[in-house]
Amino acid sequence: DRWNLTEKDYFTMCVNKTSWYTVIGPLRLGGVVGGADNASLKLMVEAGEKLGIGFQIHDDILNLSGDQSKYGKEIGDDLLEGKRTLMLIKLLSLCSAAEKEQLESVFRLPRGQRKKEVGYVMDLIEKYDTIDYARRMSSRLVNEARAMLSEAKWKEGTEAAEAAGCLDAIAKFAV
């Protein structure tokens, strides 16, 4: 159980877990079919990494603050599972030594016992405003990805412009 994870560690996990499968692969496939040049295909990887990270952060936020009937999973489930989300990593970097020690003790508990302590963890998340931090980070990454994708070169024609517009709309909708 590592408690010294950094944002960079989290971003690497997101790229490996979410970005390639969910964003980069489909994005590059569309780029190939749409006649994107090699530089644009490379750009799609970089933009796809950012978009995938932004999407994963947003998913993690929903797990803590979403509407369970819309989200489809138990709210707070990531905390029960002990997942190191951006919010938790940021919290660990901001809280006091005593709070960090208490957090670590909560996450050493079995899931059933941990459930009783989720309120404490959520109180700290609210105290240090790490959900808002994560929202800002997600928005920034998605906006950077959208700007990068707007630079991609496609085959000339109406369909290409329409496809680029759809791609931007999907990126915007992702978060």
pLDDT, tens digit, 9 for 90 and up, residues 16-36: 989 998 999 988 888 888 788
According to the model, what pLDDT value does residue 165 have? 76
pTM: 0.88
Structure-token pair, residue 72:
């489809």
Buried-exposed string 132-167: b where 16+ CB fall within 10 A, e elsewhere: ebbbebbeebbeebbebbeebbbeeeeebeebbeeb
Mean pLDDT in order along the chain per 10 residues (175 residues): 88 94 89 86 94 95 80 79 94 97 94 92 97 97 92 70 72 71
Mean model confidence pLDDT for the chain: 88
According to the model, what pLDDT value does residue 157 have? 63
According to the model, what pLDDT value does residue 76 have? 84
According to the model, what pLDDT value does residue 97 have? 96
> What one-character DSSP code corresponds to residue 115?
G
Q: In angstroms, how far is the first alpha carbon of the chain from the final one?
A: 30
What does 9-21 look like in DSSP terms, one character per residue?
HHHHHHIIIIIII
How far is C-alpha 124 from the geometric centre of its chain's CA atoms? 20
Structure-token pair, residue 141:
């990454």
Helical axes 158-174 vs 25-33, angle rounded to 10°: 170
